[in-house]
Amino acid sequence: MKTLLKELIRHAADRAHAAGALPHDLFPEAEIDVPKVEAHGDYSTNFALVAARSQKMAPRQVAEALCAHIADPHGLLARTEIAGPGFINFFLRPSAWLPLLAAVHDQGPRYGSSDLGRGTKVQVEFVSSNPTGPLHVGHGRGAAVGDSMARILAASGYAVQKEYYINDSGRQIQTLGRSVLLRYRQLAGEAVSFPEDCYQGDYIVDLARELRARHGDALLTAEEAEGVMRCARYAADTITAGMRQDLLDFGVAFDRWYSEQSLYDTGRVEASLEALQARGVVYPQDGALWFNTSAFGDEKDRVVVRNNGQTTYFASDIAYHQEKFERGFDRVIDVWGADHHGYIPRMKAAVQASGVDPARFEVILVQMVNLLRGGAPVAMSTRAGEFVTLSDVMKEVGRDAARFIFLTRSADSTLDFDLEVAKQKTNDNPVFYVQYVHARISSILRKAEGTGLGFTGWDAAGATCLDTPDDIQLIKTLGRFPEIVAASARLLEPHRVTFYLLDLAAAFHSYYNRQRVLTDAPALTRARLSLITGVRQVIRNGLELLGVSAPDVM
């Protein structure tokens, strides 16, 4: 619709210039907007305001010249008016909206999809939690944001790969192994103290118990280093498998799980350090090897090899991101917890130093989740091993509620997640509000089929019955969906789809209470069945982008 109006304005401007009403033929890019106030029309353009300067005319004069030369070949317009400082407002005829509904029926499950990305290869890496403990609520938010973002990008014409980076190397894995081994010894009756810097959670004891069940006391007699390593490997593998299962239960399936350790095993880390050396961006100091990231905008230089000879996490991350771009991704998007924001400049520096445009590497920062129960904070302490896991939350509130609620805020905002609200089957719970639309419409369609009046396909002529303001309002809302998805993809903001669905749901519930679908007039009934079938399709498509189910019965 916007593109049609843009053409219409373009032609009017050319005609006005040809007729001498506008002196210059260079017209700046004008916006077509949906005004906030209904009295300002269905669409509005600031053409006259932006063109005023180059035309050396008052905005309202420009607007008048343009309006006088508008041709309307498709018969879209009921009327146009000039308002305020020089806005041109377009009021469309009811029939002008029907093609939007036709598009929903025509495209079905693909409605909302676009070719925005033109096949651009994008990788979305998210969650990537250390395999040292189960996923908690914060990871859930990252999972919901990352997975939804990937779905939205895929629907927008990008070739998307979802990846999980397993930090299965380094010190925290050593600590994990040590923690399990100590618990293992305790279970065997040894009186060993359990240090504070070890992982405290009960799951460590469970892992130790499993190892004893398998190997008995065998690890007691093994070399210390050997024992730690075997415990570490077992624990990391088991925890990773558990995370994979939790994520699958959450509706998140990764295309690839990428091991940090593999970067060492294949010599990638060493190779990328050598490459940095060849570029002259690293230097030795105080026995360590430093990367001069400050030359690329970071606030200080960073260590890549410690003075004990061990590489830092940063070193393997450099290798990892280099390797990502070598795999041919045009864009690499990482979803990180906001507590890692300080890491962005050095990662950008690393990308740039590798000869890749740093704009191709983007980070979505996701703010914290405050877990509440009935308005009161739920106490959580990773240190003491007390936390509510993602799995616990899913068991309590269900997958759909969890995913949806995680996406009811901009990623930039901290999120209050109230377990009691998430369970409620009331107005307070946004996910049911949206799903209820799908169930309600399904119910009407079942009833219609029972009376032999089922929806039989789009009928352009019959649809002209849809002429009340309520009908048109609903169709307009459906028509916004594609641009919402596109904006969401462009701005990397999945919550836009959530808010749109709440809007659409409100529009439908309102419609439902004001208009009847199943009436005594067969033609009107058929037309309205085609309308609500379209609404159901869009609800379904939108929920699919969020990874939330669309139930037929509630």
Partner RNA sequence: GCCCCCGUAGCUCAGUGGAUAGAGCAGCAGAUUCCUAAUCUGUUGGCCGCAGGUUCGAUUCCUGCCGGGGGCACCA
Residues 6+ apart with CB under 8 A from 400: 431, 435, 548, 549
Residue 254 engages RNA in binding (rule: CB under 7 A): no
The yes or no reply on residue 554 touching RNA (CB under 7 A) is yes
Pick 230 or 440: Cβ nearer RNA = 440
| 481: contact with RNA by CB under 7 A | no
Tell me which of 6, 215, 399, 509 binds RNA, using CB under 7 A: 509
Distance CA 402, CA 395 (A): 10
List 373's β-bridge partners, or say none: 376
Q: 153-192: which residues touch RNA (CB under 7 A)?
A: 167, 170-172
For position 487 contacting RNA by CB under 7 A, the verdict is yes
Task: Name beta bridge partners: 82.
Answer: 88
* Dist CA 200 CA 382 (whole Å): 8
The DSSP H or E segment spanning 291 is strand 288-291
Indicate which single residue of 218, 248, 295, 338 sits in contact with RNA (rule: CB under 7 A). 338
> Between residues 215 and 509, which has the closer beta carbon with respect to RNA?
509
Residue range at the interface with RNA (CB under 7 A); choices 34-42, 134-142, 200-208, 386-394: 34-42
- Distance (Å) of CA 165 to CA 45, 124, 131, 150, 324: 47, 11, 10, 16, 11
Q: Are strands 43-45 and 32-33 parallel, antiparallel or unpaired?
A: antiparallel
What is the rounded distance in angstroms from the CA atom of residue 385 to the CA atom of residue 391? 15
For residue 541, state whether it binds RNA (rule: CB under 7 A): no
Considering the rule CB under 7 A, would residue 313 count as an interface residue with RNA? Answer: yes
Cα Rg of the chain (Å, integer): 29
Q: Would you say 94 or 551 has its CB closer to RNA?
A: 551
**In the block, residue with structure tokens 């609800």:** 539
Binding to RNA (CB under 7 A) within 117-146 occurs at 130
Site for RNA in 102-121 (CB under 7 A): none
The number of residues that bind RNA (CB under 7 A) is 92
Q: Which is nearer to RNA, 108 or 287 (CB)?
A: 287
Residue type at 318? I
> Which residues are CB-contacts of 449 (< 8 A; sequence separation ≥ 6)?
none
Choose between 75 and 85: whose C-beta lies nearer to RNA: 85
Q: Quick one: residue 347, left, alpha or beta (phi over 0 = left, psi -120 to 50 = alpha)? A: alpha
The torsion angle over the Cα atoms of residues 404, 409, 414 and 419, rounded to 10 degrees, is -30
Binding segment (CB under 7 A) for RNA, from list 99-107, 247-255, 282-290, 353-361: 282-290
Query: Which residue, 41 or 201, is less far from RNA as judged by CB?
Result: 41
Which lies closer to RNA via its Cβ, residue 219 or residue 542? 542
Whole-angstrom Cα distance, residue 199 to residue 178?
A: 9
Q: Select from 323, 362, 420, 483 the one that contacts RNA (CB under 7 A).
A: 483
Q: How many CB atoms lie within 10 A of CB 118?
A: 10
Instruction: Tell me the CB-side half-sphere exposure of residue 231, using CA atoms within 13 A.
Output: 33
Choose the stretch contacting RNA; rule: CB under 7 A; options: 140-148, 347-355, 378-386, 437-445: 437-445
Q: Is residue 427 involved in binding RNA (CB under 7 A)? A: yes
* CB 35, min distance to RNA, A: 4
For RNA, give the closer residue by CB, 74 or 516: 516
* Residue placing its CB nearer to RNA in the complex, 178 or 302: 302
Partners of residue 288 on adjacent β-strands: 285
* Three-state SS at 334: strand
Q: Min. distance of Cβ 188 from RNA in angstroms?
A: 29
Q: How many residues are given for the chain?
A: 554
Q: Which is nearer to RNA, 108 or 297 (CB)?
A: 297
Query: What is the edge-to-edge ordering of all strands in the sheet holding 302-305?
Result: 282-285, 288-291, 302-305
Check residue 477 for interaction with RNA (CB under 7 A): no
| 24 contacts RNA (rule: CB under 7 A) | no
- Interface with RNA by CB under 7 A: which range of 91-99, 216-224, 388-396, 495-503? 495-503
Integer Cα distance of 204 and 198 in angstroms? 10
Residues in 37-66 at the binding interface with RNA, rule: CB under 7 A = 37, 39-41, 44, 46, 49-50, 53
Among 25, 190, 447, 522, binds RNA (CB under 7 A): 447
Q: Which of 287, 297, 355, 377 binds RNA (CB under 7 A)?
A: 287
Interface with RNA, residue 198, by CB under 7 A: no
Side chain identity, residue 461: A
Among 245, 266, 277, 307, binds RNA (CB under 7 A): 307
The residue (of 187 and 502) whose beta carbon lies closer to RNA is 502
Whole-angstrom Cα distance, residue 77 to residue 342?
53
CB of 346 to RNA, least distance (A): 9
